[in-house]
Amino acid sequence: MWQLILAQAQEAAQGTATDAPASGPMAGGGGQFMIMMMALLAIMYFLMIRPNQKREKERREMLAAVAKGDKVVTSGGICGSVVGLSEKTVVLKVSDEPNVKMEFLRGAISQVTSKAGQDKD
Q: Report how many domains make up the chain.
A: 2
Structural domain boundaries enclosing 97: 67-118
Q: What is the pTM of this model?
A: 0.61
Specify if 19 maps to a domain.
Answer: no
Specify if 16 maps to a domain.
Answer: no
64, 85, 107 — which closes off a domain? 64
The pLDDT > 90 percentage for the chain reads 64
In sequence order, what E strands does the chain have?
71-74, 79-85, 89-93, 101-105, 109-114
Distance CA 120, CA 96 (A): 17
Query: Which positions ≥6 away from 116 have C-beta within 8 Å?
Result: 67, 68, 69, 70
Specify if 83 maps to a domain.
Answer: yes
Residue 112 sits in a domain whose CATH number is 2.30.30
pLDDT category at 121 given cuts 50, 70, 90 is very low
Asked whether residue 21 carries a pLDDT value surpassing 60, the answer given is no
> How does pLDDT run across 56-75, given as a tens digit for each residue?
999 999 999 999 999 999 99
